[in-house]
Amino acid sequence: MKLPTNDPKLLTEGLYKTDIFNLNPMFAVQLQNKQQLSYVRSWEEAFAIHGEAYISDINPAYVASLITNVQTNTSSPYKRIKRLPRANFIKILRNGDFKAYPYEPFGGG
C-alpha cells in the first residue's frame, strides 16, 4: 500500500499554537525503531514520515472508534502518529519531546 507523499516540513524547536477547531493541527510521528518524535502540520506529511504501513501499525483504538461510531480527534489510524491536543500551546523541546499548555479559546467573552 502506498501512502500519500508530500515533502515533509519538520517543525523545529519552539512554541506553536493549535486552534480549537483543528484547522491547523499538529502531529507527532515516531520514527520506526526509534524513540525520537518528529512534528509536522498535516496528515500527508505525517504519513510520509511514517513510511510503509503494515497491519501491525494499525491503531486498535481507531478501529474501535470506527466500529462504535464514536470518533475522537485524538485517535489516529496508525500507532506511531499522534495528533497533538487542540486549543493548546505546544512547546517542542530541544531533546525532541513536547509539552502542551492548554488555553481558554473563548476566555475573552
Q: What is the pLDDT of residue 69?
A: 81
pTM value surpassing 0.85: no
Residue among 26, 31, 3, 16 nearest 73 (CA):
26
Q: What is the mean pLDDT of residues 44-55?
A: 84
All three cell numbers of 30: 515516531
Domain boundaries, the chain: 14-102
Q: What is the pLDDT of residue 5?
A: 58
The percent of residues in the chain predicted with pLDDT above 90, rounded, is 28
Q: What is the mean pLDDT of residues 51-71?
A: 84
What does 32-91 look like in DSSP terms, one character per residue? TT---EEEESSHHHHHHHH-S--GGGB-HHHHHHHHHT---SS--SBTTEEEPPSSEEEE
82-104, pLDDT tens digit by residue? 989 989 999 999 998 999 999 98
Q: What is the pLDDT of residue 1?
A: 47
